Structure 1
C-alpha cells in the first residue's frame, strides 16, 4: 500500500529529512486524466485497429473513474520536496 502524505512526512522526519515544500497535484491530475480520455476518444478509429470494444470500454471507464476520484478528493497526489539535513541554499518560493 502507498503511504499517506502524513505517513511520508513522519517517516522522512524520523530519518532527518527536512520537508521544504508540499504541493497537491490532485486537481492537475484530474485535468490530465480528462485530457488523456479526450485524446483517446479522438483517436478511436486508430485504437479500434489495435484493441477490441471490451478493452476500449474498460480503458474509457478507467480514465473517467480515476478523474472522478481525484476530482472528488477520494484520492490525492502530492509532490514533496525534501532535503537530507538543513539546506538554506534553495529558493524560498516555487516561483524562482
Structure 2
C-alpha cells in the first residue's frame, strides 16, 4: 500500500538585522551607514570638483553600494520555506 505524505515546511522567517535608534525610530545599520557615506561622498566630491551634478551621481552610487553591500553582509539569509526545504531534502542521485 502506498501513502501520500504531505510535508509542510515551517513558515518563512524574516531577516533580522542590527538596528540603531535614530530619534527613537530603529534604523538598520546599513541604512544609517549609507546615509552617512552618501553625505560624505557628496561633500568631498563637491569640494573637489565644484560640480553639483558630479556630487549627486557619486553620492547616489556610494549610497547604493553601501546600502546593498551592508544588507548582503549584515542580514541573515532569508528562509523561503518550501523551496529551500525541497532543495535541501531532494533525493540524491
Q: Which has the larger radius of gyration?
A: 2
Higher strand share: 1
Relative to the length of structure 1, the TM-score reads: 0.31
- Which protein has greater RCO, CA pairs closer than 8 Å, 6+ apart? 1
